Chains A and B, each alone.
Chain A
């Protein structure tokens, strides 16, 4: 037992590295798994970490086996083979891996809780059977990888195992296969990433970042080796430092081999950063687009109330703006929004700057028209009329109906019976207008003859009187707002319906039914039945902005057909995003009915709005103001934007694996490097020259790392990011722009180069005493 412990102690460097690596991989896997579950994304997001671990662990296995080479040889001489030998060799790694797995599990949960607390609203759920399988699988795979790493040493000839001098081995077929597998895997992952449309991508796509990183790292190593060999001739005459650096770059392993993992981790980092940055920008843009302004107050009673409130509370139009959105994510052609365009600049201001909808926002003023505003408030409708012409006494009066949308968004009408006279004062009437005290929208009129026996009494309602009966409305108003300042137009369909009825054959309709006169509105009823009168503006084309590939269906707030102009197209629109039609609310609301139930109507509140105004607004609507942050949080949760944070977590653990591998590589070869420097010093090469060589070597490696990470990161983002789960975009959302940018490429590349410089610098910063030539007399033969 004591001998076994002494043996393990002598191999503590490799065992501690294995322990640390297992702990990091396991804790990373558990942390990412937990976080991914809470963020609602694929549990296999952590697979790149497992792959990097799988690449890092064999070298530790080889180191362990190399440290026991003589022991293996002696055991074989004593006849210990097969399972017994395997048991002897795997006991230490097994204990180490089990310990690392347990430690990693606990640490991973801790990290997940901390990350969940910082990044998620929801608690990180308890891990289920998946985590247990991952833990067991990781431990088993680690042991298997160590076994494979050990196998090459175990299978060496006895003469080699008991030899005093260790000879380097050429790359095994397995290693070459691994390199080819990585390259092919990266290509297949890139191909499959393009195939992903919906749902979770497959495991190979999720492995893609690590595969591309490893492939680029491998290519970088090959390129570096080739370049260094090619540069041997040039550096042979350019000073010893460059010559030695070139030689080391072409042949030494301590810093070059771990570079592959460093590049891979940094590529995962590029992907994570690009993803996180893109998602942050996307969420910010989409939130702004959805919010409409810094704050908004939902209005449950439709667009009319929203319009009325803004005019009532903010008559100057500086702080409040009514908007209404019909999201229609299932019928994208009918997706539309209405904004009080005249108030947009004052209320929203620069709110949309730096969002995809900035271009459209800058031109919102183009949506405004000079159409009248028929949002009125008052309790009574006043009507004055006089008779202009009457041929017969069969028509005794005029039935006038006024249609409107009430303050609580219901369609309503009031009816007035007019008995105008040819002479004398105007006939004045006043009727109650229910549901209009705080504001309603007049959207139409209708009128018909009042038929009756001369002297009174209503006759059969199906009776027809085609005699002339012209009435002039000299006043039609609510409160002090006249409804006669706008142009009215007879409903063509009603006239056609009357004319085409076989019951009305031969009835002369050669007269104007509705005339907009300077002194009022002249009405000439049909011989029979009701004639609707629409706002003339209702059939005018309304300016619109549009986005999306397909033309939308022109509809008003109430879902009725509307005529829209040829819309200017934009990449994205305020309130709508990538698909929809945007028009001016006051223009669109003219003549429309109740707001459709699907509409989300609100009042956007500008920054700097007086608190009293906001208080009055919320009191009137009975709802709470919603901040941009509220919208962002809701959108982020709905879109699963926290998925990108799982990548950040993953990238951090990948970086740890790479740093550990780099540090382990350096530590493994430190003695050898010191030996080399001591050998050079014996020959008369000064320590300064050796240090200069180290600096040239490190600078070259840093440059290669930067180039490889930049190229790998660019490729990974271009080829893979589209296929990885980052956000669940709604169909109408502006697509996530996951293009690589300079910053997200430069930061991981810079950090990787810095890690190389720091860790490598530590390896190359040899003390004079550690490399003094006399140490060679203490060395064993190499």
Chain B
């Protein structure tokens, strides 16, 4: 595994042929009281920004959680760089980064600390982590809020902190759940640009969203409905098999 995966600053893992690895989900079924996902198979390609859409309750967040190794599928497998995403504990692999729908910010930490701790957890020196966190907040236009407690921030500001935290580690896989739901158009553009930049580095980038504008900005689009994959498409030039 490369340095980038270790601390998220260099290239993503690649296949033996030299191509960056894809995130592959095969025959995923997830049952929790009812069947939330039903035999879903798809591949999130490295270097592409993939949109995952569907109505509320269609299984987007559950699919992202399984893709990121937070949930164990009832059936089926998930793999990235020839290793399963499910590690047996519900903790994600270090080469995964999330932007959660509920942000998952830690209230005892400031905005900057919420970002830098993701780097520190990956072994980055605290001072370097703080500097990178500051820079990441700056990219999302909230550098001046670094010392604020997260509970003092508005919903949109929290969401941008969550984005900065997800992006800053430069993980091989970035799973973003509704990352623009509380953002204005300008900030949405910033987020989409950052997503695009991550993909350009060879990362797998997946965005769960309701927003058609976000879907349009993505390279690939999968749609879910009642736990089933109802559409698999490459937006624009290339069509992708569902």
Contact = CB atoms under 8 A, between A and B. Distances in A.
B70 A772 contact: yes
Interface-central residue, A250, A679, A682, A768, by most chain B CB under 10 Å? A682
A684 B118 contact: yes
Nearest to A777: B61
A519 interface: no
Interface stretch (B84-92, B136-144, B228-236): B84-92
B209 interface: no
9 contacts: A247-B109, A672-B107, A680-B117, A680-B121, A685-B121, A774-B90, A776-B104, A777-B101, A781-B102
B108 A676 contact: yes
Interface in A679-718: 679-687, 689
Given A680-B121, A682-B92, A777-B100, 20 more contacts: A236-B127, A243-B117, A247-B108, A252-B108, A679-B105, A679-B106, A684-B92, A684-B118, A687-B89, A773-B92, A774-B65, A774-B71, A776-B100, A777-B70, A777-B102, A779-B102, A782-B102, A782-B105, A782-B107, A782-B151
A425 interface: no
A675 to B, nearest CB: 8
B70 A774 contact: yes
Interface string A747-782: 000000000000000000000110011101101111
A78 interface: no
Interface of A: 165, 167-168, 236-237, 240, 243-244, 247-248, 250-252, 672, 676, 678-687, 689, 768-769, 772-774, 776-777, 779-782
Interface of B: 61-62, 65, 70-71, 89-92, 94, 98, 100-109, 113, 117-118, 120-122, 126-127, 130, 149, 151-152, 155, 165, 177
Contacts of B109: 247
Nearest to B129: A236
A167 to B, nearest CB: 6
B7 to A, nearest CB: 10
A185 B65 CA distance: 55
A769 B117 CA distance: 22
Given A776-B100, A777-B65, A781-B103, A247 B92 contact: no
Contacts of B89: 687, 768, 772
Given A247-B109, A676-B108, A682-B100, A240 B120 contact: yes
A543 to B, nearest CB: 75
Nearest to B123: A684
A244 B110 CA distance: 12
A676 B103 contact: no
B236 to A, nearest CB: 30
Nearest to B93: A684
Nearest to B105: A679
> Per DSSP, are chain A's interface residues mostly helix, strand or loop, or mixed?
helix
A426 to B, nearest CB: 111
B126 A237 contact: yes
A249 B155 CA distance: 26
Contacts of B61: 777
Given A679-B106, A680-B106, A682-B92, A777 B117 contact: no
B108 A777 contact: no
A678 B65 contact: no
A250 B109 CA distance: 10
Nearest to B149: A251
Contacts of A781: 102-103, 155
B106 to A, nearest CB: 5
B73 to A, nearest CB: 12
Nearest to A676: B106
Given A240-B120, A248-B108, A676-B107, A773 B102 contact: no
Contacts of A681: 90-91
A681 B151 CA distance: 20
A782 B100 CA distance: 12
A776 B99 CA distance: 11
A680 B104 CA distance: 8
A768 B90 contact: yes
B90 A683 contact: no
A698 B98 CA distance: 30
Nearest to B165: A683
Contact of A251 (B108, B122, B126): B108
**9 closest residue pairs by CB, A with B:** A772-B90, A684-B121, A774-B70, A679-B104, A683-B118, A251-B108, A685-B121, A247-B108, A236-B126
A773 B71 CA distance: 9
Nearest to A771: B90
Given A684-B92, A684-B121, A685-B121, A773 B70 contact: yes
A685 B155 CA distance: 24
A283 to B, nearest CB: 52
B17 to A, nearest CB: 29
Contacts of B105: 679, 782
A689 B109 CA distance: 16
Contacts of B94: 684
A701 to B, nearest CB: 15
Contacts of B71: 774
A475 to B, nearest CB: 104
B45 to A, nearest CB: 24
A684 B155 CA distance: 24
A239 to B, nearest CB: 9
A212 B151 CA distance: 34
